[in-house]
A and B are shown apart, each in its own frame.
Chain A
Amino acid sequence: MSQGRENTKGQDKDVVIRVRGLVNGFGGQLLHDHLDLDVYRGEVLGVVGGSGTGKSVLLRSIIGLNKIMSGTIEVFGKDTSTLNDHQMREIEMRWGILFQEGALFSSQTIAENIQVPLREYLKMPQELMNEIASMKISMVGLAEDAASKHPSELSGGMKKRAGLARALALDPEIVFLDEPTAGLDPISANMFDELVKDLQKSLNLTVFMVTHDLDTLRATTDRIAVLVDRKIKVGTIDELRRDPHPWIQQYFSGPRGRAAA
Chain B
Amino acid sequence: MNTAHEAESSNTRARFRLERGQRSLRLVAEGAWTTRDAASLDQRLREIEMGDASDAEIDGSGLERIDSAGTWLLVRTKRDWEGQGKRVGPISLPGMYSSLLHTVEHEHTAPPVVIHNRHTLPAFVERVGKATFHGMQQGTGILSYVGRVTLEWLEALYHPRGNLRVAALFHQIEETGINALPIVGLLAFLIGIVLAYQGADQLKRFGAEIFTINLLGVGLLREIAGLITAIIIAGRSGSAFTAQIGTMRVNEEIDAMQTIGINTVDALVLPRILGLAIALPLLTFYADIMGMIGGAVMCYFDLHITLPVFMRQLQEAISVNTFLVGIIKAPVFALIIGLVGCYEGLQVERNAASVGRLTTRSVVESVFLVIVLDAAFSIIFSIIGI
Q: Could you list which residues of chain A lie within 8 angstroms of chain B, going by C-beta atoms?
A: 7-9, 14, 41-42, 76, 94, 106, 109, 111-112, 118, 122-128, 130-139, 141, 144, 147-148, 152, 168-171, 173, 198-199, 201-204
User: Among B43, B114, B349, which residue has its beta carbon within 8 angstroms of that of A130?
Assistant: B114
Residues of B contacting A127 with CB < 8 Å?
A: 112
B17 near A: Cβ within 8 Å?
no
B211 near A: Cβ within 8 Å?
no
User: Among B42, B104, B114, which residue has its beta carbon within 8 angstroms of that of A128?
Assistant: B42
Residues of B contacting A112 with CB < 8 Å?
A: 115
Q: List 13 A-B contacts (CB under 8 A).
A: A41-B2, A106-B351, A111-B115, A112-B115, A130-B114, A134-B113, A136-B68, A137-B110, A139-B68, A144-B113, A170-B35, A198-B103, A202-B102
Q: Please give me the residue from chain A that is nearest to B353 by CB atom.
A: A106
Q: How far is it, in angstroms, between the C-alpha of A174 and the C-alpha of B304 when the chains are bound? A: 78
Inter-chain contact total with CB atoms closer than 8 Å: 105
Main secondary structure of the interface of A (DSSP, over half): helix
Residues of B contacting A76 with CB < 8 Å?
A: 5
User: Among A122, A135, A201, which residue has its beta carbon within 8 angstroms of that of B39?
Assistant: A122
| Cross-chain contact B1 with A7 (CB below 8 angstroms) | yes
| Min C-beta distance of A151 to chain B, whole Å | 9
| Cross-chain contact A123 with B113 (CB below 8 angstroms) | no
| Cross-chain contact A134 with B69 (CB below 8 angstroms) | no
One digit per residue, 1 when the CB lies within 8 angstroms of any chain A CB and 0 when it does not, for chain B 100-131 equals: 10111001111111111000000000000000
B61 near A: Cβ within 8 Å?
no
User: Among A122, A138, A201, which residue has its beta carbon within 8 angstroms of that of B99?
Assistant: A201
Residues of B contacting A138 with CB < 8 Å?
A: 107-110
Most chain A Cβ neighbours within 10 Å, of B104, B108, B115, B116:
B115
Residues of B contacting A204 with CB < 8 Å?
A: 1-2, 96, 100
User: 8 shortest A-B CB distances, which residue pairs?
Assistant: A171-B67, A147-B113, A144-B110, A202-B99, A138-B108, A202-B100, A124-B39, A131-B112
One digit per residue, 1 when the CB lies within 8 angstroms of any chain A CB and 0 when it does not, for chain B 21-50 equals: 000000000000011101100110000000
Q: How far is it, in angstroms, between the C-alpha of A111 and the C-alpha of B36 when the chains are bound? A: 19
Q: Please give me the residue from chain A that is nearest to B6 by CB atom.
A: A76
Residues of B contacting A144 with CB < 8 Å?
A: 110-111, 113
| Cross-chain contact B108 with A135 (CB below 8 angstroms) | yes
Q: Known contacts A202-B100, A202-B102: does B113 contact A128 (CB below 8 Å)? A: no
| Cross-chain contact B39 with A123 (CB below 8 angstroms) | yes
| Min C-beta distance of B59 to chain A, whole Å | 21
